[in-house]
Amino acid sequence: MPSPLNIREDRLLAELAHLATISAHPAPAVTRVLFSPEDLAARAWLVSLASHAGLATRFDAVGNLFITLEGSDPSLPPVATGSHTDAIPNAGAYDGTVGVLGGLEALRSIREAGLTPRRSIELIMFTAEEPTRFGLGCLGSRMLAGALSPEKARALRDPDGRSLEDLRPADCPGDLEEVRLAEGCYHAFVELHIEQGPQLDTAGLDIGLVTHIAAPAAFRLYFTGTGGHAGAVLMKDRHDAFLAAAETALAVERAAIESPSPDTVGTTGVIRISPSAINSIPCEAMMEIDFRDTDLAARDQALARIREDAAAACARRGVSLDWSCINSDPPAVCAKDLLDIAARHADSLGCSRIPMISRAYHDSLFMARLCPTAMLFIPCLNGWSHRPDEYSRPEAITRGTAVLARTLFDLSA
């Protein structure tokens, strides 16, 4: 490193604390749903920080924000970093935000050291990494990578029936067709993120070098049976939609537990029944399942088993089933040469490190389709995340940001 990069811990922590106050729910909870007043306020504040630091900013048509530290050779593909600032209801202050504000601090540290990178370095605040508004995660990075077409994006609706184009603000100009980026548009992409699991915190380690990002798949299932009075219909005559769904939920758990892959996880996170009355047999049930693995073949084999078990439960109970896919994405493998560079800088800073797998998925999953990609994890207390007591220690945030800054500058040379 030709000159020391000074991470201003006080500035970074103050900005993380301030961003947490831009929330639809009072502290310590953080809620910032895509294109809500809180989300728009957070975006405007982030633009003001970037402008004050002398960095260029722009939005694309889906609302991804790009903050750029100009390099000396604009003909070269830039290096990129970034994460998200939207937050699910009743969440915490560090998920995504460490990667955005840590990325901003990394760019400022390079600029304030009087260094000019050869390649430009771009910080991306991705739109809607969380699926809260439209039921689909990583909306912005999916569109950048071409994993979601403009037509399918236009068809998305929020719980109130509003579309993406109904909600996007005026400072997100252009057509959705212009969002997709070409493969190779970036030289490399590196995302800093809290682990959202307990491994680093339990072991007392500083940095996780993510080697693989799990393949997520989500499905919506509709079960249709026959309703009736809870007291008048005998058990042998019932076609209970909820019980068929309940058997399927247990099949999800069983398939994950019995999978030969140690990284298989399955969750039934949504269940709704109708008419939802204590004295009425459920005639309809809707459930949503989330299934993930770093091994695509193992994941798909387990899903096939779930479908067979669901079909058998429905046939046995005289219930019909409609199974639809919300999303099904392949896993990502992080670039070894990027991880080697990050490891070298972690070592130079005295940071302990281990290779890790990310079982949660992030915008990096889709950026890996565009360019070599890596993720850096920092510990969060007890592995708690997506809850108000989510916490990452100041020294962990500063160490991770320091490794990120040096890695980005190295890649930009």
Tens-of-pLDDT digits for all 413 residues of the chain?
445 799 999 999 999 999 999 999 999 999 999 999 999 999 999 999 999 999 999 999 999 999 999 999 999 999 999 999 999 999 999 999 999 999 999 999 999 999 999 999 999 999 999 999 998 999 999 999 999 999 999 999 999 999 999 999 999 989 999 999 999 999 999 999 999 999 999 999 999 999 999 988 999 999 999 999 999 999 999 999 999 999 999 999 999 999 999 999 999 999 999 999 999 999 999 999 999 999 999 999 999 999 999 999 999 999 999 999 999 999 999 999 999 999 999 999 999 999 999 989 999 999 999 999 999 999 999 999 999 999 999 999 999 999 999 999 999 99
Do 148 and 35 fall into the same domain? yes
Give dist(CA 72, CA 45) in Å, integer: 28
Residue 1 lies in a domain: no
Q: Are 190 and 373 in contact (CB under 8 A)?
A: yes
Do 134 and 271 fall into the same domain? no
Do 40 and 174 fall into the same domain? yes
Give dist(CA 187, CA 411) in Å, integer: 8
Do 224 and 368 fall into the same domain? no
Give dist(CA 139, CA 130) in Å, integer: 8
Do 287 and 143 fall into the same domain? no
Q: Are 56 and 123 in contact (CB under 8 A)?
A: no
Q: Torsion angle of alpha carbons 3, 334, 187, 370, nearest 10°? A: -150
Amino acid at 192: L
Overall pTM surpassing 0.85 (yes/no) = yes
- Alpha helices by DSSP H, listed for 91-237, are 97-112, 139-145, 150-155, 164-167, 199-203
Residue 4 lies in a domain: no
Residue 2 lies in a domain: no
Residue 3 lies in a domain: no
Domains contained in the chain, number: 2
Amino acid at 198: P
Do 109 and 166 fall into the same domain? yes
Do 73 and 114 fall into the same domain? yes
Return the SS3 of 137. coil
Q: What is the DSSP letter of 401?
A: H
Do 73 and 178 fall into the same domain? yes
Residue 349 exposed, middle or buried by CB count within 10 Å (0-12, 13-18, 19+): middle
Do 57 and 171 fall into the same domain? yes
Do 210 and 220 fall into the same domain? no
Q: H/E element holding 265?
A: strand 265-274
Residue 163 lies in a domain: yes
Residue 357 lies in a domain: yes
Do 129 and 191 fall into the same domain? yes
Do 92 and 199 fall into the same domain? yes
The boundaries of the domain holding residue 324 are 216-328
Residue 274 lies in a domain: yes
